[in-house]
Amino acid sequence: MTNTPTVLVPLAHQEADPSAAFLVERIQSLKKERNAIILAHNYQIGEVQDVADYIGDSLELARFAARTDADTIVFCGVHFMAETAKILNPGRHVVVPDLKAGCPMSDMITPEEVDRLREKHPGAVVVTYVNSPASVKAKSDICCTSANAVRIVQSIPEGTPVIFIPDQFLGDYVQRATGRSLILFEGFCPTHMRIMAADIDQARHQYPEALVIAHPECQPDVAIKSDVVASTSRMASAVRESAARTVVVGTELGMIHRLRKENPEKEFIPACSTCDCSNMKVNSLEKILWALEDLSPEILLPEEIIRDARTALDRMLENS
Ligand code: 13P
Ligand code: SF4
């Protein structure tokens, strides 16, 4: 895939919606009444991040969900993240603002595909990126996120074949980081796929002093050309620790809200101005309020899926 990079410019600031204050007030009081907490992924729209009790990457949110004793978790992210929260803490009500917030990469893999891969590679360990349905996690040996994928693969004895699903680009990144050869599946993130190596070249040309950060879901030639390749929260810490005044952001555009908030003195340039995940953006303050009012839509999973997927997720948490 090729594209012609245009001049890269900072992302425009979004004006705060005047009705937001009323919604935030209602959300905060209902949250207390319901003994609920709001978790939000780093890609959520600004006002959703701002109303959340906790913002993080997939691993941090999973850990937080696993240990909370709130009665209800309002999960603002995409479907697989809310499922992960339910699997790790099945006694809680896990509600989402909008059930349509899916993840196209997660939809690329099925339990039947896992069976086929196991048949084709007997004795292989199945490492499953959390961006996958609960039914696929239930058929896996161990899960990983972008924050711990390298460590999880390193925890498997050398010489054991490893099937890595579903993201071929995260898998490729892990291969480069570990020097191990993995059996990859052809899944990918359509959002990160939009960032091209030519965009990074253009950014380097236009902003030679900038720090270039990218997510490991990016294509290999983008990751190789970047200074930092990391999970969303680790990108945030790399930016906080860097002296660079300009940062080129090779990931989903929602990330820039948190980066700006934590580093008001820095300038953030999206590597690709169309790198937005429409699924992440369907959540809104109104829908959070409705989810709290109705305790719906709720994430519900069959018991045996929770049991089997939990084994793979617990192994991940023990190893990271
Ligand atoms: P992180 O776990 O790095 O937050 O990534 C989740 C994701 O969906 C990236 O597209
Ligand atoms: Fe899925 Fe990509 Fe959206 Fe992340 S950014 S939720 S991987 S589609």
**Averaged over 72-89, what is the pLDDT?**
98
Q: Among 3.40.50.10800, 3.30.420.10, 3.10.180.10, 3.40.50.2300, what is the CATH number of 105-189+302-318? A: 3.40.50.10800
Q: How far apart are CA 109 and CA 119, in angstroms?
A: 16
pLDDT per residue as tens digits for the range 199-258: 999 999 999 999 999 999 999 999 999 999 999 999 999 999 999 999 999 999 999 999
pLDDT at 1 over 50: no
Q: Which superfamily, per CATH, for 17-103+280-294? A: NadA-like (3.40.50.10800)
pLDDT at 6: 66
Of all residues in the chain, what percent carry a pLDDT higher than 90?
93
Distance 253 CA to ligand 1 centre (A): 12
Q: What confidence category does residue 15 fall into, taking pLDDT thresholds of 50, 70 and 90?
A: low
Nearest CA to ligand 2 atom 3: 277
pLDDT at 16: 64
Please report, for residues 143, 146, 167, the alpha-carbon distance to residue 311 in angstroms, rounded to integers and kept in the order given: 9, 19, 21
Instruction: Tell me which of 39, 145, 281 to substitute to probe ligand 1's pocket, judged by most ligand atoms within 8 Å of the beta carbon.
Output: 145
pLDDT at 4: 52
pLDDT at 8: 79
**Rounded CA Rg of the chain:** 19
Cβ(305) – ligand 2 distance below 6 Å: no
**Averaged over 149-155, what is the pLDDT?**
98
Contacts of 227 (CB under 8 A, 6+ apart): 211, 212, 213
pLDDT at 60 over 80: yes
pLDDT at 244: 98
Q: What confidence category does residue 2 fall into, taking pLDDT thresholds of 50, 70 and 90?
A: very low
Contacts of 123 (CB under 8 A, 6+ apart): 160, 161
pLDDT at 320: 84
Question: What predicted TM-score, i.e. pTM, was given to this entire model?
Answer: 0.95
Distance 104 CA to ligand 2 centre (A): 7
DSSP string, 31-91: HHHHTEEEEEETTS-HHHHHH-SEEE-HHHHHHHHHH---SEEEEES-HHHHHHHHHH-TT
Average pLDDT, the chain: 96
Distance 77 CA to ligand 2 centre (A): 10
CATH 3.40.50.10800 maps onto the chain at: 17-103+280-294, 105-189+302-318, 195-270
Q: How far apart are CA 260 and CA 258, in angstroms?
A: 5
Give the count of beta carbons closer than 10 Å to the beta carbon of residue 209.
9
pLDDT per residue as tens digits for the range 161-184: 999 999 999 999 999 999 999 999
Report the amino acid identity of residue 265: E
pLDDT at 99 over 70: yes
**Averaged over 253-267, what is the pLDDT?**
98
pLDDT per residue as tens digits for the range 101-119: 999 999 999 999 999 999 9
Are the C-beta atoms of 37 and 31 separated by less than 8 Å?
yes
Cβ(131) – ligand 1 distance below 6 Å: yes
Spell out the CATH class of 195-270.
alpha beta
